[in-house]
Amino acid sequence: MELATRAVHAGRAGKVEGAYPVSVPIHPSATFYYDQAAELDAVAGGATGYMYARYRNPTGVALESAVAEMEAADGALAYGSGMAALHAAILASGVAPGDAIVCSQEIYGGTLNLLLNVLAPLGMDIRFADLNTLAGQEQALNGGGVRLVIVETISNPLLRVLDVAALAERAHAAGAKLLVDATFSSPALGRPLEWGADYSVHSATKYLSGHGDVTGGVVAARADELPQLDGFRKLVGGILGAFEAWLILRGIKTLPLRMERHCENARRVAEFLRGHERVERVFYPGFTDHPDHAVAARQFGGRFGGMVSFEVKGARREAMLRLMDRLRFCLPCTSLGDVQTLVMYPVLASHRDMAPKQRERVGIHENLLRLSIGIEDAGDLIADLKQALEGE
């Protein structure tokens, strides 16, 4: 069955008085009861069923079933946000005080803050490394005591793409698990578990839901990882509500269709930006001279995602803010993956808390903007960017 078909039919609801509802029902109940107390006792003892919404909810289970099918995973667990999902996956990996977590130096600022401000004070040894090179991977993994490696399928915001299968092999050989944040690619471009990753994490707020109206997260994994993921969700309480689960499930139905348009629009916008005299550099893995183009083409099946970043020649912070103010269709928002095009200034948003020298070291400069290309008409987006770039 092809992905587009799975997206539409995955997570379908069961019978309701003999009929199948086309849309999964929303079950907002906080708790559940049974005809016999023995049934409740059985569920409390581990039998499949529903007891309390912090443990399981029918709408949430439908979403998890859909994501697992999209990811070719044994199962998936939904959480109240992408950060809650990431936190749970890190804890489920078994990291303990004294263990090392190796993280790509090119990664979302929230992930950096979680590692440095929550996990490091608990005794985890946090190591950042350039994992886009073989030398960087070998140096990071040979340090000893590495329990977990964290990367993104497409890095935020510089759009680097590493070979997940090769890294998974090296991480496992070093005794570490591999956690892949697949938010930027979504299951429409690839499935990290098939490449050897142990966890595939998504901020479902982004491409999975796709409409900017819900916050959520999900982790897909093999069967042996699911009990730990479920246990941390129950104890820490980062659950996803029934309404949010329904919205994400609704968004998944159009994910493959939306991603086709995201990818095509991004290609056209990237080509326009590259030819504009005010643009110094464009970051887009679809360009043949991108350092990771070959890996991206192979890994994502010839598509390159809906994200484009670019630098404006000679622009400082004030000029970048004025440029953003001139945009009409590209909305200044700290998110991505929506049907509308969103523009984000990393220096003031995703990487605001990173020290300026560290930002410069990894290549996040004051003249950098990140675009999450929507499904609008590409010509209108190009015209909007053109008038904004030429407004001064």
Q: Residue 214: its pLDDT value, please?
A: 97
All structural domains of the chain: 3-252 (3.40.640.10), 255-389 (3.90.1150.10)
Distance from the Cα of residue 387 to its chain's centroid: 31
Q: Residue 353: its pLDDT value, please?
A: 65
Burial class (CB in 10 A: 0-12, 13-18, 19+), 212: middle
Reference 340, options 253, 257, 262; nearest CA is 262
Residues 217/86, Cβ–Cβ less than 8 Å: yes
The pLDDT tens digits along the chain (392 residues) read 888 999 998 888 777 778 888 889 999 999 999 999 999 999 999 899 999 999 999 999 999 999 999 999 999 999 999 999 999 999 999 999 999 999 998 889 899 999 999 999 999 999 999 999 999 999 999 878 999 999 999 999 999 999 999 999 999 999 999 999 999 999 999 999 999 999 999 999 999 999 999 999 999 999 999 999 999 999 999 999 999 999 999 999 999 999 999 999 999 999 999 999 999 999 999 999 999 999 999 999 999 999 999 999 999 999 999 999 999 999 999 899 999 999 999 987 667 667 777 777 777 889 999 999 999 999 999 999 999 999 86
Helix (H, G, I), strand (E, B) or coil at 74: coil
307: enclosing H helix or E strand? strand 307-312
Q: Residue 352: its pLDDT value, please?
A: 66
Angle formed by the axes of helices 378-389 and 317-326, nearest 10°:
140
Reference 307, options 221, 164, 177, 189; nearest CA is 189
Q: Residue 350: its pLDDT value, please?
A: 66
Global pTM value: 0.95
The answer for residues whose C-beta is within 8 angstroms of residue 298's C-beta and 6 or more apart is none
Active site residues: 54, 108, 181, 206
Reference 338, options 218, 219, 271, 251; nearest CA is 251
Q: Residue 195: its pLDDT value, please?
A: 97
Q: Residue 20: its pLDDT value, please?
A: 87
Per DSSP bridges, beta strands 217-221 and 75-79 are antiparallel
Say how far apart CA 13 and CA 1 lie, in whole Å. 19
Angle formed by the axes of helices 82-92 and 226-236, nearest 10°:
120
